[in-house]
Amino acid sequence: MSEFPKIAPIGLTGIVVTFAGAMSDRANMAAIAFRATLDAEDWPEISETSSTLVSTFLAVDLVDTPFEDLHARLIALLASKDWYSAALPSGRKLWTLPTCFGTKRAPQLEEAAQAAGLTAKQALTSLANSRPRVITLGYAPGQPYLGPLDPEWNIPRQSELTPQVPAGALVVAIQQFVLFTAPMPTGWRHVGQTAFLPFDAHRDTPVLLTPGDEIRFAPIEEAELTALEATDSLGGATWEALP
Beta bridge partners of 145: 136, 178
Rounded least distance, CB 18 to other proteins, Å: 8
Toward other proteins, which CB reaches closer, 41 or 221?
41
Nearest to 146, CA basis, from 83, 204, 95: 95
Q: How far apart are CA 181 and CA 206, in angstroms?
A: 11
Toward other proteins, which CB reaches closer, 55 or 220?
55
Q: How far apart are CA 49 and CA 26, in angstroms?
A: 19
Q: How far apart are CA 136 and CA 53, in angstroms?
A: 6
Rounded least distance, CB 103 to other proteins, Å: 26
| Spatial contact of 127 and 113, defined as CB atoms under 8 Å apart | no
Toward other proteins, which CB reaches closer, 178 or 220?
178
Q: How far apart are CA 192 and CA 173, in angstroms?
A: 13
Rounded least distance, CB 87 to other proteins, Å: 20
Rounded least distance, CB 34 to other proteins, Å: 13
Toward other proteins, which CB reaches closer, 124 or 179?
179
Rounded least distance, CB 5 to other proteins, Å: 13
Toward other proteins, which CB reaches closer, 97 or 178?
178
| Spatial contact of 196 and 97, defined as CB atoms under 8 Å apart | yes
Toward other proteins, which CB reaches closer, 20 or 220?
20
Nearest to 242, CA basis, from 206, 201, 211, 213: 213
Sequence letter at residue 193:
Q
| Spatial contact of 5 and 75, defined as CB atoms under 8 Å apart | no
Rounded least distance, CB 97 to other proteins, Å: 18
Residues lying near other proteins in the complex (CB under 8 A) = 8-14, 16, 18, 20-23, 35, 47-55, 57, 59, 62-63, 67, 136-143, 145, 156-161, 173-174, 182, 184, 187, 199, 201, 207
What are residue 113's phi and psi, to 5 degrees?
Answer: -60, -45
